[in-house]
């Protein structure tokens, strides 16, 4: 059973689901908790990989405690009914954490895709750092995207889980859609037609922002920085605004109606990849864009003070800028105005893999599933040792 609930999870798990469904040895159930129901359908349609069930756990205005409880209860019922041999979860969401805990309570092994990422600060990002540490503490199979993530896992509590360095499945998804846009001229034209409002003579700054730790003063600062950038007549900002009301309220209050700044509804993944390929700079607090930007050769400015993705920082194509409005504005302006600074960050690098992570993960699942019960397991294909 593959469990996901948010749009980023779906983007990164659908390549795994597609690969699992190719294997005649494996029966697959794709289970959505519906944490981001409005945005999930766009992604499942893009990859032509439908869900087998939707738990529909979202209730308007519910907090993390209620969300966690609802996922736990719903997953407990599903696990008792379907009795999967393995539950795969992804990353650091409440869905991933609660589904893993429900599986642990039910005595069902857990596989963690994108295991081992660490900021080493439980408050940043919050609650994501807690979520991923919790999942890794109980996982049987840990699919680390990088050797750094695997090294983190080897130092931690769970010494019985098996680690495999796979690359990141988000790169699988990105390269698949980017290649489709390049080869399918009709798809490219239809996608481009949705953004006729863009002025090709201006530099495109693509923004995403939704982190809980920035709610309040952080988002006030982010908006002030974006407003300052929008005053330039050579720049155009596109900001697909997250559906969380804590984000939408401040963003629309401070930025609506400003020239050169387009606040749009969340877009599908195909549309997002199209925007990324045309952007001059990516400004984000998202983990996904920290991975995707380098693969596309796009500079990424991260509106956070810490990151669990040090490989991107080390490559020199990603930079932490926090939520101070002056820092946001000056960092973007430097890349726009200084060709040398821009060239130093606008390089295609692949710290998160080659686009074949899903195949490695499914090979490992197949190896693990095909072992005789109770026997000493054979090594996973490509697995690293503790």
Instruction: Tell me which residues are annotated as active site.
Output: 92, 114, 128, 210, 212, 242
Collapse the DSSP code of 112 into the 3-class scheme (helix H, G, I; strand E, B; otherwise coil) and give the result: strand
- Phi, psi of 51, deg, nearest 5: -80, 150
CA 377 to the chain's CA centroid: 31
The helix (H) or strand (E) run that includes residue 97 is helix 94-105
- Phi, psi of 126, deg, nearest 5: -115, 130
C-beta atoms surrounding 26 within 10 Å: 16
Q: Are 279 and 298 in contact (CB under 8 A)?
A: yes
Burial of 3 (0-12, 13-18, 19+ CB in 10 A): buried
Q: How far apart are CA 364 and CA 358, in angstroms?
A: 10
Closest CA to 144 of 169, 174, 173: 169
Q: How far apart are CA 116 and CA 113, in angstroms?
A: 9
């Amino acid at each position: 059973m593959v469990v996901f609930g948010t749009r980023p999870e779906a983007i990164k798990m659908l390549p795994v689901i597609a690969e699992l469904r190719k294997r005649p040895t494996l029966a697959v159930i794709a289970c959505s908790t519906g944490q981001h129901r409005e945005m999930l359908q766009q992604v499942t349609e893009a990859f032509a990989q439908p869900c087998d069930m939707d738990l529909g756990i979202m209730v308007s205005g519910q907090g993390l405690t209620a969300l966690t409880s609802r996922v736990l209860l719903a997953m407990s019922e599903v696990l008792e009914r379907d009795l999967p041999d393995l539950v795969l979860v992804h990353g650091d969401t409440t869905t991933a954490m609660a589904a893993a805990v429900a599986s642990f309570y039910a005595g069902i092994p857990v596989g963690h895709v994108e295991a081992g990422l660490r900021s080493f600060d439980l408050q940043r990002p919050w609650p994501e750092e807690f979520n991923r540490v919790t999942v890794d503490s109980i996982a049987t199979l840990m699919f680390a995207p990088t050797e750094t993530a695997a090294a983190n896992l080897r130092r931690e509590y769970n010494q019985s889980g098996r680690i495999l360095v796979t690359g990141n499945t988000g790169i699988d998804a990105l390269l698949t859609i980017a290649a489709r846009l390049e080869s399918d001229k009709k798809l490219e034209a239809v996608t481009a037609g949705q953004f006729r409002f863009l002025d090709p003579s201006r530099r495109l700054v693509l923004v995403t922002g939704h982190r809980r730790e920035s709610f309040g003063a952080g988002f006030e600062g982010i908006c002030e920085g974006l407003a300052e950038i929008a005053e330039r007549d050579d720049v155009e900002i596109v900001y697909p605004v997250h559906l969380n009301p804590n984000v939408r309220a401040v963003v629309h209050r401070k930025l609506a109606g400003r020239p050169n700044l387009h606040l749009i509804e969340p877009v599908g993944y195909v549309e997002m990849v199209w925007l990324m390929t045309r952007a001059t700079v990516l400004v984000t607090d998202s983990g996904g864009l920290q991975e995707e930007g380098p693969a596309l050769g796009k500079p990424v400015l991260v509106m956070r003070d810490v990151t669990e993705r040090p490989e991107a920082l080390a490559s020199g194509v990603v930079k932490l800028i926090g939520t101070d409005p002056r820092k946001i504005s000056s960092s973007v302006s430097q890349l726009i105005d200084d060709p040398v600074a821009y060239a130093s960050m606008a390089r295609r690098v692949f710290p998160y893999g080659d686009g074949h992570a899903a195949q490695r993960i499914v090979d490992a699942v197949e190896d693990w599933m095909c072992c005789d019960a109770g026997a000493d397991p054979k090594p996973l294909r490509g697995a690293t040792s503790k």
